[in-house]
Amino acid sequence: MSAIFEREMFDGFTSAQLAAVDTPALSPALRVYLDQLPHYGLGYLPPPATALLLIAWGHLHGLVALEVFGHTSFLGDHQTEIFRTAMRNLLEDIHRRIAVAPAPRP
């Protein structure tokens, strides 16, 4: 699952861009821990990007859990639209946190 999620979030970005992701500062211990995790998706994922992936996965899981346990049933037919909007907003926020790659020199 995380390989698919990682691909959808980060495909097309360079390792340098992912290493410079705009996230709150990670503690040295967390940075070391995230750095040693096995990587199944695009290959090596720098600690800031791994943290962002886990945060996003938590948001996704939270929305799914709310729906599964009936906490969004009051939305009726609008549940899907709310979920899609939340996921689109999350992805846009993630991409705003990744610096644009410098343009190639002519």
- 105 within a domain of the structure (yes/no): no
Give me the percent of the chain exceeding a pLDDT of 70: 93
Residue 106 within any structural domain of the chain:
no
Q: Which residues of the chain have pLDDT under 70?
A: 1, 41-42, 103-105
Contact indicator for 31, 47 with CB cutoff of 8 Å: yes
* pLDDT of res. 73: 94
Query: Nearest Cα to 49, choosing from 12, 98, 92, 101?
Result: 98
Residue 63 lies in a domain: yes
> Would you say residue 102 lies in a domain?
no
pLDDT value at residue 77: 94
Number of domains in the chain: 1
Range of the domain at 38: 2-96
